[in-house]
Amino acid sequence: MVQILCMRHGQKDGDKLTPEGAKQVFIAGEYYKAEGFQFDCIFHSGANRTQQSAYIILAALQEFYLPIRENRNFIYTVGKDYFETREDFEKEVDEINKNGGLLDYALKVSQYAKNVRLMIIRALQKIAKDMESNNHELALVIGHSPMIVTASSDPQNTPYGILECDSILYTLDNNEIIATETVRGPIKGGTIC
């Protein structure tokens, strides 16, 4: 059995963290340390803001030996394959939020949510397999919202999209997601869009 904590990067300006975003990430890292999370490795999506977040988390954890690796399966692709414009994506998110804002509803009305769910499940399964072969128990993945929540095993109680530095903890056994838990960041972040 392995666990993968998927965290959304901090507040950004373009593809870099703002000073507030860096603070959000550092405090999230301190929170993880205080809560007893002991990561074996850290992954980021390859975007500059997630890579910055990974190094800030490392500093907050004071665990400088942890390997940091890129995993492009967690890159944010809104607009590229699903929507013509960012505004189209935001309209869809607004519609989902007006109907409760839960993943369950998003999976009923959004082809994007359905496709990304499959992509994230596969990405988590690949990481879990790699973790098991290296005898790792807990990994941190820094990615983007809303896609990191779409693989939840409890869509009726999972928000569609999370705020900056919020995270979702996935537990996998035999390469299947058996449990999920939303973990709120210590500093309330901004919206998912």
DSSP category for residue 102: B
**Contact present, 14 and 58 (Cβ < 8 Å):** no
**173 pairs with which residues across the strands?**
176
Q: What pLDDT is recorded for position 77?
A: 61
Query: Cα–Cα distance between 135 and 129 in angstroms, integer?
Result: 10
> 170, 138, 142, 167: which is closest to 40 by C-alpha?
138
Q: Please give the domain boundaries of the chain with CATH numbers for all domains.
A: 2-183 (3.40.50.1240)
Query: Cα–Cα distance between 82 and 50 in angstroms, integer?
Result: 22
pTM, two decimals, is 0.92
User: From first to last of its 193 residues, what are the pLDDT tens digits of the chain?
Assistant: 999 999 999 999 999 999 999 999 999 999 999 999 999 999 999 999 999 999 999 999 998 888 999 988 777 665 567 787 878 888 999 999 999 999 999 999 999 999 889 989 999 999 999 999 999 999 999 998 778 899 999 999 999 988 899 999 999 999 999 999 999 888 777 766 5
Q: Side-chain half-sphere of 23: how many Cα atoms within 13 Å?
A: 6
